[in-house]
Chains A and B, each alone.
Chain A
Amino acid sequence: MQAVLQHSPSSEVSSERRKNASAKRTGFLLLSPSVLLLLVWSIVPLVMTLWYSVQNYNLVDPTLHGFAGIDNYWYLLTDPDFLHSLLNTFVLVAGVLAISVGGGTLLAVLYDQDFFGRGIARIMVISPFFIMPTVSALLWKNLMLHPIYGVYSAMMRAVGLTPIDWLARFPLLTVMMIVAWEWLPFAVLILLTAVQSLDGEQREAARMDGADPIARFRYIILPHLSRAISVVVMIETIYLLTVFAEISVTTAGGPGVASTNLAYLIYSRALLQFDVGGASAGGVIAIIIANIVAIFLVRAVARNLEA
C-alpha cells in the first residue's frame, strides 16, 4: 500500500482511478470466496442435471441408455401426477406462509403483552422451531394424530366424536398443519423481536391520539412489522419450497399423490424408481420454478431487505 506513495504527483486524475480500483479489488477479493463457491455449487450440479435430463438413464435397467432428447420432459409434463404435485407444492407453501405470518403476527402482539409467566410461555411457543422435521412428523403422526392411540383421537372420543384418520382423510392439510407447527414459532420469534423494537413514544403518541387497540395494530404495529414480515416470508419460502422429511415420514406422498409435492415427486422418481433421467428432468423443472418464485419473491421483498 505504501508503495503507491512513490508515484509521480503529475498523475492527478489517474490517482482516483487507482484508489478506487484498489478499493474495488479489496471488495472483490473479500467477496470472491463466497461467490465462487456458490457459483460452483449452483452451476456444476445444474449442468450435470441438465445433461442427465436428456439421457435415458435408469439404474435398474442398464440396457436403456443414450440420448433421450426431450422425452424425459415430455413424459413428465404430460404426467397428471406432475401437475398435481405442482399444485400441492403451491398450496403447501401458501398455506404455511399464511398460517405462520398471520398467526405469528397475532401471537407476537399477544406475547408482547405483560402477563404472569410470559417468559416461560414464550419459550414454550418458540420450542417447536428447534425440533427436527423428522421428529415433529413422527410425533404428530403417531403420538398426536394416530386414529387409535393418538391423543387427539382420545380427546375426540372423550367428547363423543368419532376419531378421524387425519393423514388418510386430509393428507395435504395435515402435512400443512405439521409444517406450520414447525414454522409458526420462527415467525413469532422474528415478529416478536420486531414488535418489541417499536418505539414506546410512538405507541404512546398513538394512544394520545385516541387510537383504540385495533387501530394501533392496524396503523402503527403492522406497518412497523412490514420488514420483519418480508424476512419471515423470504426465509420460510426457501425452506417450504423444499419440504421433504415431513411428507416422507407421514404419508410418503400418498394416498396416491394427494400429498406429493414436487420435491417428493422427484425424490420418488430418482430413488424409488431409479429413473435418473426422469428425476433430473423433474429437477430442472423444479429449478426453473424455484427461480421464477425467487425472481418474484426477491423483487417483492428486496426493497424491504435492503433498507
Chain B
Amino acid sequence: MATVELKNLRKTYLTEEIIKGISLSIEDREFVVFVGPSGCGKSTLLRMIAGLEDITSGDLLIDGQRVNDVEPGKRGLAMVFQSYALYPHMDVYKNMEFGLKLAGMPEAERREKIEHVARTLQLEPYLHHKPGQLSGGQRQRVAIGRAIVRNPKVFLFDEPLSNLDAALRGQMRVELSALHRKLGATTIYVTHDQVEAMTMADKIVVLQKGVVEQIGSPLELYHHPRNLFVARFIGSPPMNFFPAIFQGGDTTGSAVQLRDGSTLYVPVTSPGLLPGTKVTVGIRPEHVELAASGPNSGVVEVIERLGAITLVHVRMPDGQIIVVQMDGAVLTDVDTRVSLTLPPGNCHLFAPDGVAFEACHRHPLAA
C-alpha cells in the first residue's frame, strides 16, 4: 500500500546535472523497472528515492508525503544492493534482525518474522551461517530476506541479479516475480538487462543521460517504441534499421523509398513531413523474411544456431549488417546471397530527430 511520486526530480553533482528533471508516478503494488545503459542515471535515481543521495531540486513523495529530507531508514523503504551488502560480521539471522532491532521491535516478534521469512525463502538451514559461508544465490536470498522482514512500503532493487551466473539469474527472476505477486508490495527495480525489465515489470522506465526516454508496459515499449533509442534498447537481438526517403503519406500510412529503390508503404501517420525528408525504417529481426532472390539482397556472413531459433546475419551492399531471426530448421548457409522482405505492417518509421511516427493501429497487447 504505497505510491511513489517523483516531481521534476533533479540532481546536480558538482557542476554537472546528472538527473535532468524526472517526473513519474508509481502506483500501489506496481513493479516498476528503471532500465538504461550504464551511466544513464538509473542507479542515482534509485539512490535518491532511497535517501542515499541528496535531491538537488524537485519533490519526492511517498504516499503523498514529501520525504526529500527524511533519513533513509525512516522512509519505510528497503533496498537490495548489487553487492548484497550483507553485514559480514553477523550471521544470516542477525543480518535480518538488525533493522528490526533498531526499530525497537520486541524479541519474540522479531524471531517470528525472521523465521517466517526464512521459511519462505528456504533459508532456514542457514540462519546461523555467516555470509562468507554462503553461495552467491543464498546471499542474494538473504539480502532479499533482510528487505522483506522489515515489511517496507516500497522495495528498491539495485541490479540485484548482476552478480549471479546466467542459470541462477533466470531462476531468481522467476522467484522475484512470484514473490512480488505474493507480497504485492510496490517495487522499484534497476537493471541494465532488458530481459529482466521485460519479464518482471508492470511498467518500464527507459532512461538515458538523466532523461526519461519512454514510460510504458513492456509490450508497449516493444511494439511502440517512442524513439530510436528505445527501439534500439528494447528487444534482443536489437531492431534493424534502414535509411529511407519519405515520399508522402495520408491517414492510412506513409510511403518511403529504400536505398535499392523499392518502395514501402508503412501504416504510420506522418503529419506535416515534407516529401524528400530522410527517415529511418526499423524492423525487428523476427519480422524480416528471407527470400532466395528479389530486391534488398545481401550476403549471409554468420549463422548462429540457437536450436529453437536461428539468427542469420546478412551483410548489405552499403556495409551494414541486418540480423534476421528464423526458426531453428532453416537451411540457409554462409556466403549465400539472400533477399530481405520487410512486411510493412511490422515496420516502424522514425523522423530525422529519432522520434517515431504514430502507428495507425495499436498492437492488441500494447493498447
Contact = CB atoms under 8 A, between A and B. Distances in A.
Q: When A and B assemble into the complex, do they touch directly, with CB atoms less than 8 Å apart?
A: yes
Given A1-B71, A9-B68, 8 more contacts: A12-B59, A13-B56, A15-B57, A15-B69, A16-B54, A18-B69, A19-B54, A19-B69
A15 B68 contact: yes
B55 A15 contact: yes
Contacts of A291: none
A161 B19 CA distance: 81
A7 B67 CA distance: 11
Contacts of A13: 56-57
Contacts of A19: 54, 69
A20 interface: yes
A12 B57 contact: yes
B70 interface: yes
A78 to B, nearest CB: 54
B69 A7 contact: yes
Interface of B: 54-59, 66-71, 74
13 contacts: A1-B71, A4-B69, A7-B69, A9-B66, A12-B57, A13-B57, A15-B55, A15-B57, A15-B68, A15-B69, A16-B55, A16-B57, A19-B54
Contact of A5 (B56, B57, B70): B70
A2 interface: yes
Contacts of B58: 12
B34 to A, nearest CB: 22
Do most interface residues of chain A lie in helix, strand or loop, or is the interface mixed? helix
Interface residues of A, number: 13
A2 B56 contact: no
Interface string A1-29: 11011010100110110111000000000
Interface of A: 1-2, 4-5, 7, 9, 12-13, 15-16, 18-20
Do most interface residues of chain B lie in helix, strand or loop, or is the interface mixed? loop
Nearest to A7: B69
Contacts of A5: 67, 69-70
Contact of A2 (B55, B57, B59, B74): B74
A7 to B, nearest CB: 7
Contacts of B71: 1-2
Contacts of B59: 9, 12
A149 to B, nearest CB: 55
Q: Which of A1, A4, A19 has the most CB of B within 10 A?
A: A19
B74 A16 contact: no
A5 B74 CA distance: 11
Nearest to B58: A12
Contacts of A16: 54-57
B67 to A, nearest CB: 8
B323 to A, nearest CB: 37
A19 B70 CA distance: 10
A18 B57 CA distance: 12
Q: Which of A5, A13, A18 has the most CB of B within 10 A?
A: A5
Contacts of A18: 69
Q: Which of B57, B58, B68, B74 has the most CB of A within 10 A?
A: B68
Nearest to A20: B54
The 3 closest A-B pairs by CB, nearest first: A4-B69, A12-B57, A9-B66
A19 B72 CA distance: 13
A20 B66 CA distance: 18
Contacts of B70: 2, 4-5
A18 B54 CA distance: 10
A65 B67 CA distance: 69
Nearest to A22: B69
B89 to A, nearest CB: 22
A9 B70 CA distance: 12
A9 B7 CA distance: 12
Q: Which of B57, B58, B67, B74 has the most CB of A within 10 A?
A: B57
A137 to B, nearest CB: 44
A193 B68 CA distance: 46
Nearest to B51: A19
